[in-house]
Amino acid sequence: MRHVLGIDIGSTGIAAAVCRDVGEHWSEPVVVPAVESVVHVAPDATVSVGGEAVRRSVVEPDRVARGFLRRVGDDVPFLLGDELYTAEALTAAVAGWVVDQVAADEGEAAERIAITHPPSWGTYRRKLLLDALAAAGLPPAMLLPTPVAAAEGHLARERIDPQTLVGVCRIGGEHADFAVLRRGSTTFELVTHAEPAEPTAGKTLDDLLFEHVRERCGDVAPSALRLVCAEAKERLSALPETEIGPVRVTRAEFDRLARPSLLATLEPLRRYERLSVVLLVGGTAAVPLLTELVTGLTGGRVVAEPEPASAVARGAALVARLVEGAAVESTALVPKVTGFPDLEPEDVYDDEPVPPRPPVVLTPLEPPRRRFAPSRRGGSRSEDDE
Per-residue pLDDT at 363: 46
Q: Which of 79, 37, 44, 48 is nearest to 62 (CA)?
A: 79
Please count the other Cβ atoms lying within 10 Å of the Cβ belonging to residue 261: 17
Whether 170 contacts 176, CB under 8 Å: yes
Give the per-residue pLDDT at 172: 85
Neighbours of 206 (CB within 10 A): 20
Per-residue pLDDT of the chain (386 residues; tens, 9 = 90+): 899 999 999 988 999 999 998 888 889 999 999 999 999 999 888 899 999 999 999 999 999 999 999 999 988 899 999 899 999 999 999 999 999 999 999 999 999 999 999 999 999 999 999 999 999 999 999 999 999 999 999 998 999 999 999 999 999 888 889 999 999 988 899 999 988 777 777 888 989 999 999 888 877 888 889 889 989 998 998 899 999 988 999 999 999 999 998 998 898 888 888 899 999 999 888 899 999 999 999 988 999 998 999 999 999 999 998 754 444 443 333 223 333 333 333 333 344 554 544 444 444 455 433 343 333 333 333 333 33
pLDDT recorded at residue 326: 43
Give the integer Cα–Cα distance in Å for 221 and 260: 28
For domain 3-139+351-381, give its CATH number from 3.90.550.10, 1.10.1240.10, 3.30.420.40, 3.40.190.150: 3.30.420.40
pLDDT of residue 324: 47
CA–CA distance, 90 with 101 (Å, rounded to integer)? 17
Taking alpha carbons only, the member of 40, 77, 81 closest to residue 58 is: 40
SS3 at position 111: coil
Taking the C-alpha atoms of residue 15 and residue 375, their distance in angstroms, rounded to an integer, is 18
Helix axes 123-135, 87-106, angle to 10 degrees: 50
Task: Give the number of other Cβ atoms within 10 Å of residue 151's Cβ.
Answer: 26
- The domains of the chain are located at 3-139+351-381, 202-260
Please, which residues have CB within 8 angstroms of residue 342's CB and are 6 or more apart in sequence? 163
Distance, in Å, from the CA atom of 252 to the CA atom of 289, rounded to the nearest integer, reads: 10
- In angstroms, the CA 86 to CA 153 distance is 31
Q: Tell me if the domain spanning 202-260 has CATH number 3.40.190.10.
A: no
Q: List the beta strands (DSSP E) in the chain.
A: 3-9, 13-20, 30-36, 38-41, 47-49, 64-66, 78-80, 83-85, 112-117, 141-145, 165-171, 176-183, 188-194, 241-244, 247-250, 277-281, 302-304, 373-374, 380-381
Q: Are the beta carbons of 147 and 118 closer than 8 angstroms?
A: no
Strand partners, 14: 9, 35
- The total number of residues written for the chain in this structure: 386
The rounded distance, in Å, linking the Cα atoms of 72 and 64 is 16
- What pLDDT score was predicted for residue 277? 94
pLDDT of residue 25: 85
> What is the pLDDT, as a whole number, of residue 357?
43
